[in-house]
């Protein structure tokens, strides 16, 4: 773990088994949501400073809102330059457009892409409205390769352990694809919108795609995630908890979480 005051890396070996991974993940525990958002923005900005035309993934959900606010502030202050960064969206509902109420892309546009003045030509949206989603998903994978691969994958953690929309049952070699959503995830996401019907399917970047990133940043906040954080980081790697496959990333993984989210982990 990283001590919140000092930012020093603590030995993460006792945090769980990382079978087959090279090195151990960095677990950074900070005071609260605001500190998590700042630290996450630091990691993103460091990555794009090192690779100004690199590719990154951007998550949706409630967790990254503070990070986006922080990034937008830094862009406006001239402390972060996203003008050449390639942005890849992680997931969205099949058939939804940004004009639809329950669109994750719309959230992303509102919270980050528009206020951050991200050049439209650098944004790779999830192909939700194509006639052939399977072919479009394959094309999305090719776009990632053409962008030089993912420099940094920023992801959240769903209450059931999903990463992007890799629901339970998703293995570590999954690629971008159409997926059936669990009722639990549909209910969770319905909370973002008032009365919107959440579609039964989504397109999500695969776990294998995410694991191919040079670095992975997972951000988590809140007591309600503490048990799934523990299972994800210290439990066995299993498709029942898709996030647990991120242990395979070893030292390429940094988890930034607040104290509440980390509360079920042993020191
Ligand atoms: C959503 C998204 C994920 C997100 C996760 C956590 O369903 N598909 O990409 O990371 O669930 O959401 P939240 O941050 O609101 O807890």
At 115-168, the pLDDT tens digits run 999 999 999 999 999 999 999 999 999 999 999 999 999 999 999 999 999 999
Cβ–Cβ contacts within 10 Å for residue 93, how many?
Answer: 24
Q: Assess if residue 30 is contained within a domain.
A: no
pLDDT at residue 169, as a whole number: 98
162 catalytic per annotation: yes
| The token pair that represents 99 in the structure block | 């004009």
Assigned domain for 15 exists: no
Q: What is the pLDDT of residue 193?
A: 79
Q: For residue 192, give its domain range.
A: 43-258
* Residue to substitute in 60, 89, 187 for testing ligand 1 pocket (most ligand atoms within 8 angstroms of CB): 60
**Residue 216 resides in a domain:** yes
Q: Would 222 be classed as within a structural domain?
A: yes
Catalytic residue selected from 100, 111, 151, 162: 162
Ligand 1 contacts CB of residue 90 (under 6 A):
yes
Q: Rounded to 5 degrees, what angle do the CA atoms 170, 175, 178 make?
A: 75
Q: Is residue 184 part of a domain?
A: yes
pLDDT of residue 19: 40
Does pLDDT of 257 surpass 80? yes
pLDDT digits (tens, 9 = 90+) for 22-65: 799 999 999 999 999 999 999 999 999 999 999 999 999 999 99
* Ligand 1 atom at minimum distance from 225 CA: 16
The active-site residue out of 34, 51, 124, 160 is 160
Query: pLDDT digits over 215-254, tens only?
Result: 999 999 999 999 999 999 999 999 999 999 999 999 999 9
Instruction: Provide the CATH number for the domain around residue 221.
Output: 3.40.50.1360
User: Which one of 88, 158, 159, 209 would you pick to mutate in the ligand 1 pocket, going by the greatest count of ligand atoms within 8 A of its CB?
Assistant: 158
Judged against a pLDDT cut of 50, whether residue 8 lies above it is answered with: no
Task: Give the pLDDT confidence score for residue 191 in this predicted structure.
Answer: 83
pLDDT tens digits, one per residue of 182-191: 999 999 888 8
The ligand 1 atom at the shortest distance from the C-alpha of residue 165 is 8
pLDDT of residue 13: 33
Annotated active-site residue 91? The verdict is yes
Number of domains present in the structure of the chain? 1
pLDDT beyond 70 at 15 = no
Residues 6+ apart with CB under 8 A from 166: 174, 179, 204, 206, 207, 242
pLDDT at 216: 98
User: What DSSP letter does each residue of the chain carry, written as one string?
Assistant: -B-TTT-PBPP-GGG---TT-SS--EEEEESSHHHHHHHHHHHHHHHHHH-TT-EEEE--SSTTHHHHHHHHHHHHHTS---TT-EEEE-EEETT--TTSTT-HHHHHIIIIITTTT--GGGEE----S-S-HHHHHHHHHHHHHHTTSEEEEEE---TTS-BTTB-TT--TT--SEEEEPPHHHHHHHHTTSSSPPPPSEEEE--HHHHHTSSEEEEEE-SGGGHHHHHHHHHS--BTTBGGGGGGGGGGGEEEEEETTTTTTS--
User: Is residue 203 one of the residues assigned to a domain?
Assistant: yes
Which residue, 69, 60, 34, is CA-closest to 189? 60
State yes or no: is 160 an active-site residue: yes
Give just the sign of the alpha carbon dihedral 255, 188, 264, 246: negative
Q: Is residue 250 part of a domain?
A: yes
Residue 57 counted as domain residue: yes
Give pLDDT, residue 77. Answer: 98
Q: What is the pLDDT of residue 121?
A: 97
Query: Is pTM, for the whole model, over 0.85?
Result: yes
The pLDDT assigned to 21 comes to 63
Assess whether pLDDT exceeds 90 at residue 181: yes
User: Residue 17 pLDDT more than 70?
Assistant: no
> Which atom, in ligand 1's list, is nearest to the CA of 60?
9
How buried is 190 (Cβ within 10 angstroms: 0-12 exposed, 13-18 middle, 19+ buried)? Answer: middle
Does ligand 1 have an atom closer than 6 angstroms to the CB of 156?
A: yes
């Amino acid at each position: 773990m990283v001590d919140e005051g000092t930012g020093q890396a603590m030995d993460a070996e006792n945090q769980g088994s990382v079978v087959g991974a090279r090195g151990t993940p960095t677990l950074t525990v900070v005071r609260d949501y605001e500190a998590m958002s700042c630290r996450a923005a630091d990691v993103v900005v460091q990555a794009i400073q090192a690779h100004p035309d690199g590719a990154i993934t951007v998550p949706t959900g409630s967790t990254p809102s503070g990070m986006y606010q922080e990034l937008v502030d830094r862009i406006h202050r001239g402390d972060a330059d996203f003008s050449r960064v390639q942005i890849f969206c992680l997931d969205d509902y099949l058939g939804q457009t940004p004009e639809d109420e329950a669109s994750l892309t719309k959230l992303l546009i509102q919270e980050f892409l528009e206020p951050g003045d991200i050049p439209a030509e650098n944004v790779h949206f999830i192909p939700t409205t194509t006639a052939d989603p399977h072919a479009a998903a394959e094309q999305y994978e090719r776009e990632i390769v053409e962008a030089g691969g993912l420099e940094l994958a920023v992801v959240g953690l769903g209450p059931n352990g999903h990463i992007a929309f890799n629901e339970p049952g998703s293995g570590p070699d999954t690629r971008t694809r159409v997926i059936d959503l669990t009722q639990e995830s549909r209910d969770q996401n319905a909370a973002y919108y008032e009365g919107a019907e959440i579609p039964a399917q989504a397109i999500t970047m695969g776990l294998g795609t995410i694991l191919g990133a040079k670095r992975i940043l997972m951000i988590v906040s809140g007591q309600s995630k503490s048990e799934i954080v523990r299972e994800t980081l210290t439990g066995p790697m299993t498709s029942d908890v898709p996030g647990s496959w991120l242990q395979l990333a070893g030292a390429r993984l940094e988890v930034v979480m607040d104290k509440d989210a980390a509360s079920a982990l042993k020191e």
